[in-house]
Amino acid sequence: MARTLLAGLFVLVAGAVPAQAASSRLSVEGCSSERDNRSPDNWTSATWKICIGDYGGAHGQADVKCWAGQTIGWNASRCLITGQFEIRKGNEVIKSGPFALDVPLNGASTARPFRFYCQGHGEYTFSTTGVQGTLLQTDSDGDAQARPGYQSVNIADATATVTMC
């Protein structure tokens, strides 16, 4: 019985590998380093990293999580991240504009606002500037508002580059 089971496993693996290799190509990705950004009073923190790639379609991606300082330690916090972004192929701007990300307690990895159409093979750059994070709380009406007692954090400009498409 063990011999039959192992033979079945070998058949499944041997059959799956050629099909995957024939129908897909490798995805590429370039990322900035992740940075922990702090408010001037050191009570608000936001980790920020951006990537650009062609996995699941051409797009930039932002990975972010916000924290509120406590007397002892840090607690994850909902936040609003705003700023400007630009996606270029060489010197040509493909897509740009303002963005706003409502980031839940467990952080976010989002690509939706940064999707774009490839303009042929080449070097693509995704950059963010003027990014700011504001901690949020929900009021009694269920609306989000800035969390009192916490300064906003300025998030350092970031750039990610990759050759793709």
**DSSP of 79-113, one letter per residue?**
EEEEEEEEEEETTEEEEEEEEEEEE-TT-EEE-GG
Q: What is the pTM of this model?
A: 0.80
| 65 vs 44: CA distance, rounded Å | 11
Predicted confidence band at 42 (pLDDT cuts at 50, 70, 90)? very high
DSSP 8-state assignment for residue 73: S
The torsion angle over the Cα atoms of residues 130, 136, 95 and 50, rounded to 10 degrees, is 80
Give per-residue pLDDT as tens, 66-106: 999 998 899 999 999 999 999 999 999 999 999 999 999 88
Predicted confidence band at 26 (pLDDT cuts at 50, 70, 90)? low
| 74 vs 89: CA distance, rounded Å | 39
Residue 56 main-chain phi, psi, to 5 deg: 70, 20
| 86 vs 138: CA distance, rounded Å | 31
- Amino acid symbol at 136: L
pLDDT at 19: 34
pLDDT at 145: 93
Sequence-ordered alpha helix ranges (H) in the chain: 2-23
pLDDT at 28: 87
Predicted confidence band at 55 (pLDDT cuts at 50, 70, 90)? confident
- Of 6-10, 28-32, 46-50, 111-115, which gets the smallest average pLDDT? 6-10
Predicted confidence band at 21 (pLDDT cuts at 50, 70, 90)? very low
Kindly give the pairing relationship between strand 44-53 and strand 122-138: unpaired
pLDDT at 27: 80
Q: Are 47 and 65 in contact (CB under 8 A)?
A: yes
Give per-residue pLDDT as tens, 104-163: 988 988 988 999 999 999 999 999 999 999 999 988 888 899 999 999 999 999 999 999
